[in-house]
Amino acid sequence: MMHKIIVIIFLIALVIGILQLIAFWKIYKKAGKGGWEAIVPFYCNWVLVEIAELNWWWFLAFFAPLITSFIGLSWLGYLVYFFATFTVYYN
C-alpha cells in the first residue's frame, strides 16, 4: 500500500514539474530569450532577473537561504528568498 502512495506522489510531482517547465519555456520565449535557458540551473535565475530588468544583486537573493544557513539564520534567508522570488516574478 505504501509503495502505491509513493508512486502516486512521484507521478503528481513529475506532472507538476513538466507543467512548470512548459510554462517557463513559454515565458522565456515570450520575453525574447531561448526556451532552453529555462532549464539550465542557476543561469535560468540570472535570465529571469534580466527579463524583470532588475539589478544583478537580485540574483544573489536567490542564494540567501544557503548563505544564511551558515550563520544560523536560515529563516531570514527563506524570507529574503520569498521576497526576491515574488519581486522577480512580479516584474
Q: In the chain, where do the E strands start and end?
A: none
- Tally of CB atoms within 10 A around 24: 17
What is the per-residue pLDDT for 1?
Answer: 74
Percent of the chain with pLDDT over 70: 100
Is the per-residue pLDDT at 73 higher than 90?
Answer: no
Confidence band of 28 (pLDDT split at 50, 70, 90): very high
pTM of the entire structure? 0.75
Confidence band of 65 (pLDDT split at 50, 70, 90): confident
Say how far apart CA 65 and CA 81 lie, in whole Å. Answer: 7
Say how far apart CA 81 and CA 84 lie, in whole Å. Answer: 5
Average pLDDT over residues 18-33: 92
Helices (H), 1-91: 2-30, 43-51, 57-61, 64-69, 74-90
